[in-house]
Amino acid sequence: MKTETPNRHDATMHDSPLTIGGRAFQSRLMVGTGKYPDNATMLRAIDASGAEIVTVAVRRVDLDRSKDSSVLHHLDPKRFFLLANTAGCYTATDAVRYARLGREAGFNDFVKLEVIGDQETLLPDVQGLLEAAKILVKEDFKVLAYTNEDLVTALRLEDAGCAAVMPLASPIGSGLGLLNPFSVRTIKRRLQVPVVVDAGVGTASDACVTMEQGVDGILMNTAIAAAQDPVAMARAMRLAVDAGRAAFLAGRMPRREVAFPSSPTEGMLD
């Protein structure tokens, strides 16, 4: 993989890898593979993002072969960690069914679990999510649970044995950015398992601010795929995630309600 940013190593030099379900990943940016204008752009964007974890969806094969829709023709599973999702599922039963199919189709026991509760907002059905998570954990899945920014739900998902909890920044595909930094920060502070923000990032500053909350990573799709130049945006996101992470590790200065001069107040002329 080509490294476009010479100081990438510097930025993350003192960082530990992101470990989820016993697997270590160097990149804290995970990307989706949906909604790209074409596969070539998608591949170049994924390269530019530096992502190792790449999400995919499980869908019916097109029996008429009118289009070549299998993403595996384009993504080398030896090079990327393919994370199957249960996107589009509205019940725990459906999500479990899709997760099992995904495990069969895929190369690992990881699943990004989504149980959607509302069509307009695509907000999660947390009851169905917990139900599905418990079933899948029993079946030895490594469950990465897409959830809202509610602490109690996040704690219950962790108790249920999820490998990671994925609170949203804002609704899927909205690009509204991190609407509730306090809640996401609280979730991160209280959970032991990795917290990866999933959905809602719109542009690089959103990714940076999100990482500054101390979360372990970000998963995004539309922000890159729907940018005017997805490859350039993927690179921007990679830099932003690195910058946000580096800033978090550096520890920001305290906020003050009043100014505090940067230059000496002594030695001024009469």
Q: Which residues are catalytic?
A: 112
**253, exposed or middle or buried, with CB in 10 Å at 0-12, 13-18, 19+?**
exposed
Q: Which of 11, 49, 52, 102 binds another protein (CB under 8 A)?
A: 102
Q: Residue 177 and residue 174: Cα distance in Å, rounded?
A: 8
Q: Which of 41, 44, 57, 121 binds another protein (CB under 8 A)?
A: 57
Of the pair 24, 72, the CB lying nearest another protein is at 72
Strand 142-147, strand 110-113: pairing: parallel
Q: Residue 111 and residue 43: Cα distance in Å, rounded?
A: 22
Q: Report residue 97 CA to chain centroid gap.
A: 23
CB of 27 to another protein, least distance (A): 17
Q: Which of 58, 132, 143, 233 binds another protein (CB under 8 A)?
A: 58
- Report CA-CA distances (Å) from 187 to 113, 166, 251: 18, 10, 19
Query: Which of 93-101, 131-139, 161-169, 178-186 is the region at the interface with another protein (rule: CB under 8 A)?
Result: 93-101
When asked if residue 65 is in the footprint of another protein (CB under 8 A), the reply is: yes
CB of 262 to another protein, least distance (A): 43
Phi and psi (nearest 5°) for 25? -125, 140
Q: Which of 5, 19, 71, 185 binds another protein (CB under 8 A)?
A: 71
Tell me the one-letter amino acid at 219.
L
Q: Which residues bind another protein (CB under 8 A)?
A: 32-36, 42, 55-61, 63, 65, 69-72, 82, 84-85, 87, 97, 100-102, 104-106, 172-173, 199, 219-222
